């Protein structure tokens, strides 16, 4: 079972749409492409996240083979698509709000 989508993400997409662009300076993850809410279930099924990285839900990517994912607490991680396993999740931000603050808008 996929963790819930944090309300911060839902509110951000409602106000701003799906961001695609860069983060400020050297802030991780660099390039960001967020997925629309209506595509999350399909995209997560396509990458089989429940099989390979249970406990996470993907909501975007960095355009370089890594997924942006939430855990059950709403923290943000980068997860490689090749070798996708929970132990390889790299922390990015404590919340979506922390990630969104890095977006170049």
Domains in the chain (CATH in brackets) are 7-100 (3.40.1580.10)
CA distances to 54, 65, 75, 82, 101 from 8, in Å: 22, 25, 11, 28, 12
- What does the pLDDT look like over 53-81, one tens digit per residue? 999 999 999 999 999 999 999 999 999 99
Query: Would you give the DSSP letter of residue 1?
Result: -
- The percent helix, strand, coil of the chain (3-state, each to 5) is 30, 25, 40
What is the pLDDT, as a whole number, of residue 1?
83
- What does the pLDDT look like over 22-50, one tens digit per residue? 999 888 889 999 999 999 999 999 999 99
Residue 105: pLDDT band by 50, 70, 90 thresholds? confident
**Extended strands (E) in 1-105:** 20-22, 31-34, 57-61, 66-70, 76-80, 90-93
What is the pLDDT, as a whole number, of residue 27?
84
The pTM is what? 0.94
Strands in 57-61's sheet, in edge-to-edge order, are 20-22, 31-34, 57-61, 66-70, 76-80, 90-93
Are 103 and 19 within 8 A, CB to CB?
yes
Helix (H, G, I), strand (E, B) or coil at 93: strand
């Amino acid at each position: 079972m996929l963790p819930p989508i944090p309300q911060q993400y839902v509110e951000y997409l409602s106000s701003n749409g799906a961001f695609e662009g860069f983060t400020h300076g050297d802030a991780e993850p660099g390039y960001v492409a967020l997925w629309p809410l209506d595509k999350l279930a399909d995209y997560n099924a396509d990458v089989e996240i429940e099989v390979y990285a249970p406990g996470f839900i993907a909501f975007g990517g960095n355009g370089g083979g890594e997924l942006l994912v939430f855990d059950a607490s709403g923290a943000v991680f980068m997860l490689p698509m090749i070798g996708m396993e929970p132990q390889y999740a790299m922390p990015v931000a404590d919340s979506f709000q922390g990630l969104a603050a890095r977006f170049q808008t």
